[in-house]
Structure 1
Amino acid sequence: MSDENNSDSSTSESEVSACSSKFNPLKALYSKKAAIPVKNAPLYENLNQYESAQKKENYIIPVGHKEEVENRELEKKNKKEEEQRLLEEKNRQRFARFQLPEPVRREIKTKNVLTRIGAMEGPLAVLKDCVDHRLRIKVITRNATGIRGVLHATLVAFDKQWNLALADVLEIWKRKGQKKRKIPPGLGTPVPKGTAAKMCSVPIVTETPLGGGVWECTRHIPQMMVRGEHVVIVNVVER
């Protein structure tokens, strides 16, 4: 302790003052009389940064000035975005005359039976109501020589040719007795029992005698497609 006191007593203010020509850095380092000339002086990490700051090279900010660093980075970012925007605008104007107008693609609408039903007018509009409200209809069909029979069914779909897709069909028709029937020779031998049933169940036909050698036949079919050329008239049974 005595050595330190002796060293402080032997040290003059001119030797520890940074502004004096007799400044001794070694004594200023260990002396308690040394005073900082500028308390708010900027702090640099090394001598190279200090020299660059004095020469205004790369604009080095001293340690502890966080806000200035953030502002400088924000300015750099905004400047870069502005340069990029100007470059894009310049390129757009440069190549604008070489660009052709893009063709407008029209939306292709799918057309089928279900989409055409919505635009039906006139008598076909009544069939559209039958499809929407699931009404039962009565369809009179014909064969090559006259009326064949009647179909009681629910209409599922149709088209402008009067082709009908039916569901839950009850078919009623008349034909002669078994002894008076004429089977064309071109039909050949019938399919053996059980062969067709493996692929699709054959509807059961119920025959009722009406007299005079005429029988009334009925059968129930889950689904049926009727061609328009076989349709005579269509009546709405349920409203």
Structure 2
Amino acid sequence: MIWTRNAHTVRGYCIAYVTAFDKHWNLALREVTEVWTRPKKRKTVSLLDADRNSTFQTQRKIRPPPITILKVTKSQEVCSRKVDQYIVRGEHVVLITIFREEN
């Protein structure tokens, strides 16, 4: 489990297998489940929402993974997505812990 940060606070966490890392703690991850919080009301329309109505969307070969909203509070929403491979820059890493899922 890798906890990540943004400019002001802890952004969220990733549950993944660490494939590689270096002295700066840049991480290469695989089989990633990313969970993060974002403001509920965004000032601008996200690029994904704008692209859904355009014809350019049908021409793209690579589509971003779908985002699932897990929880909505008054000012924030908790989002999740699954990605096959992911690279995290070392300056965004807050904490790395061993996560064992109970069966």
Across the aligned residues of Structure 1 and Structure 2, the Cα RMSD in angstroms comes to 2.1
Structure whose CA Rg is larger: 1
Distance in 2 between residues matched to 1:206 and 1:182, nearest whole Å: 20
Select which of 29, 36, 39 maps to 1:173: 36
**Cα offset, 1:212, TM superposition:** 1.5
Partner of 2:58 in structure 1?
194
Gaps of 5+ in 1: 1-137
Count of residue pairs brought into register by the alignment: 94
1:183 aligned residue: 44
Aligned residue for 1:234?
Answer: 96
Report what 1:206 is aligned to.
Answer: 68
1:219 counterpart SS class = strand
Larger helix fraction of residues: 1
* Cα distance in structure 2, aligned partners of 1:165 and 1:195: 29
What residue identity is the alignment partner of 1:183? T
TM-score normalised by L of structure 2: 0.79
- Residue-by-residue CA offset, 1:41-87 (whole Å, 9 max, x unaligned): xxxxxxxxxxxxxxxxxxxxxxxxxxxxxxxxxxxxxxxxxxxxxxx
Q: Which ranges of structure 2 fall in alignment gaps of 5 or more residues?
A: none
Determine the C-alpha separation between the residues in 1 that align with 2:28 and 2:59: 26
Question: What amino acid maps onto 2:6 in structure 1?
Answer: N
Instruction: Give the deviation of 1:149 after TM superposition.
Output: 1.0
Deviations 1:12-41 (A, max 9, x none): xxxxxxxxxxxxxxxxxxxxxxxxxxxxxx
Residue 149 and residue 195 in structure 1: after superposition, are their counterparts in 2 closer, same or farther (change >3 A)?
A: farther
TM-score by length of 1: 0.36
Alpha-carbon separation, structure 1, partners of 2:14 and 2:58: 27
Relative to total residues, which structure has the larger strand share, 1 or 2?
2
Separation (CA, whole Å) in 1 of partners of 2:76 and 2:82 = 20
| Aligned partner of 1:149 among 12, 23, 42 | 12
Distance 1:227-1:208 versus aligned 2 partners, 3 A rule: same
Amino acid at match of 1:176: P
- Runs of 4+ with deviation above 6 angstroms: none
Q: Which amino acid aligns with 1:215?
A: E
Q: What does residue 164 of structure 1 align with? A: 27
Who is 1:215 aligned against? Answer: 77
Of structures 1 and 2, the one with the larger relative CO (CA 8 A, separation 6+) is 2
Take 1:181 and 1:205, find their aligned partners in 2: how far apart are those partners?
A: 16
Query: What pairs with 1:119-158 in structure 2 (closer than 5 Å)?
Result: 138-158=1-21
Tell me how far apart the structure 2 counterparts of residues 182 and 174 of structure 1 sit (CA, whole Å).
16
Instruction: Please give the alpha-carbon distance, in whole angstroms, between the structure 2 residues aligned to 1:217 and 1:190.
Output: 19
